[in-house]
Every structure is written in structure tokens, then in C-alpha cells.
Structure 1
Amino acid sequence: MTTVQITLPDQLALEAQRAGLLSPARLEKWLRDQLEDQRVDELFLAMDRMAGVDEPVAMSPEEVAQEISTMRAEWRAKNTR
């Protein structure tokens, strides 16, 4: 377990304590909720970035086969020296 010390204005600390917000269980739940919210926000930001990327033109099966053949030929040429 880790102990964390925070500094709060007296009035805020008093109100939070009275409301039960400073209990270890309540703080743990709040932190876990915040972490989850942050992960979700990061996911949506990543999705927005992905949506902004132009998709490459789809290749036909024949074009894919040709690319594979070309790469294999290049690999063979490089590795048979």
C-alpha cells in the first residue's frame, strides 16, 4: 500500500471529510473511475485520429499476389548471393 498526502484548503477538507469523500474506499473508487474515463477519452482521441487518415486504395487479389511475388523475388535475390 502507498500512502498519499494531499494539501487542501481547510474548508474543502472539512466538507469532503463530512461528506465521506476522503475515506480510502471512496478515494480509490474515484481514482479508478478517473483512470477509466481517461482511457476512454484516449480511445476516442485515437479513433478520431484514425478517422482522419486517408485509407489506401484497396488492392485486388491479383495485385496482392503480384506484390507478394515481387517481394519474394527480391528476397531470393538478396539471400542467394
Structure 2
Amino acid sequence: MVGTSTAFTKERAPCGKQVGGSRYHEDDGSGIVCNDVNWACGCREIVHEFHDGSCRTRIVRHDGRMLLNQLSAEHAE
């Protein structure tokens, strides 16, 4: 898999601050997709989609507080 990283200047982070950061996207072309967003304040959002259609989403504030840790169990048919 080859990933791409792009910077952004101002977006609202999970903590509410408007800060810059970077977005990383990776796709294997067969169903696995990774999207990671890292804000300059330290907040992070991680979304991984899997071949079976399930999705893992984690959102963590810069202070370490987990705001969301979810695994969807939906399977593509």
C-alpha cells in the first residue's frame, strides 16, 4: 500500500481548537482504507475500513481522553 499525506492549515480539532495538522490516506485497492488525521494540538482521528465492510473509528483528544472508540460490525454482502 502506498499512502499520501497532506497538510492543512486550520480545521476544528476534537478539542474545539482551530489548528493546522496533517491527513494521511492509504488504500490497498482491495477494500482496506486507512484515514488518519493529526492536529497540531495533539488530537487524533483514526478510521480504518476493512475488507469485510467493518470500520474501526478512534478519536482521541490531545490530553489523551478517548472520545470515540467504535467498531462497526456491519459486513458487506
- TM tier, smaller: under 0.3
Greater Rg over alpha carbons, structure: 1
Structure with the larger strand share: 2
Which has the bigger relative contact order, CA under 8 A and spacing at least 6?
Answer: 2
Q: Please, what TM-score do these two structures have when normalized by structure 1? A: 0.23
Q: Please, what TM-score do these two structures have when normalized by structure 2? A: 0.23
Structure with the larger helix share: 1
